[in-house]
Every structure is written in structure tokens, then in C-alpha cells.
Amino acid sequence: MNGAKREDASLPLAPGYSAAFDAIQADPNQMLIVAERDGRVIGTLQLSFLPGLSHRGAWRGQIEAVRIASDLRGQGLGAELIAWAVEQCRARGCRMAQLTSKSDRVDAHRFYERLGWDKSHAGFKLSLSPLGERVGERG
């Protein structure tokens, strides 16, 4: 499912959005980034700093929700935004930066590979229903 179908920006916003913003703002290991030009939002990303036991207890930076305004793509803005995020990871002492991209986003994959990112892992997700809802029964 793409973001246009998954998200709902109609006002008033669903309460879950405000709760998520509050949680991200309260966590020093989370950053929501907005790129602006002439007062217009032209890009966004979320950057998370994750502690881990792998690589001798190394931290890693997780880059998610990278978006550039569709009419401005191809101008190097995405590359600038990713480079900025990588520098933030370095400044925080992260050993690596990582990101995920849906398997059908071939253009995005080419973009990240052009920037020097390795396609190193296959990702998996499991959808979880809200508490109390039944997704299916096991027999």
C-alpha cells in the first residue's frame, strides 16, 4: 500500500498523528526533519538513532519516510537531504546508517545505489492488528 492510500491528512487529523509527534519530540533519539524553500515544505525524513548489541554495541542511524516534492525531484535535493542525515549519524557516533525502501520502488532503489548505498538485506514486516481486533484464527 502506498502512502497516499495509507495516510489521511484531512483535518482534523486523527489523534494517532498527534500522539506520534509528541512521542518523537520527547525522544532524544528521534528527529523529524522538514526541508523548506521559500516557505514551502519541499522534503521530509525521519531519523532515528538506535542502540544495538551488534558490531560491539554500535549505534546506527535509521532513515525513514524520505520524501521530496514531486515537482522538484531530479534536482539533487534528495541527495542533499540524505547526505545531511548521514552527517547527523556520523556526528552522533553511529557506526552505520540504514534505511528501508519497499521492494517495488525501483526508482528509489536506483537513487540510493547511486548515492553509494548497498542493497544488503531483505526486509520483512508483520502487520499487527490493534488490541481487541481479531485478524484470523489459528486451528
Per-residue pLDDT reduced to its tens digit, 61-112: 999 999 999 999 999 999 999 999 999 999 999 999 999 998 999 999 999 9
Residue 115 has pLDDT above 90, yes or no: yes
Distance CA 50, CA 54 (A): 11
The predicted pLDDT at position 16 comes to: 93
pLDDT of residue 130: 77
Residue 139 has pLDDT above 50, yes or no: no
Which pLDDT value is given to residue 134? 59
CA triple 13-16-22, angle to 5 deg: 100
- Of 27-36, 89-98, 120-129, 130-139, least confident by mean pLDDT is 130-139
Query: What's the Cα-to-Cα distance from 105 to each of 1, 2, 17, 61, rounded to whole Å?
Result: 12, 10, 25, 21
pLDDT surpasses 50 at 2: yes
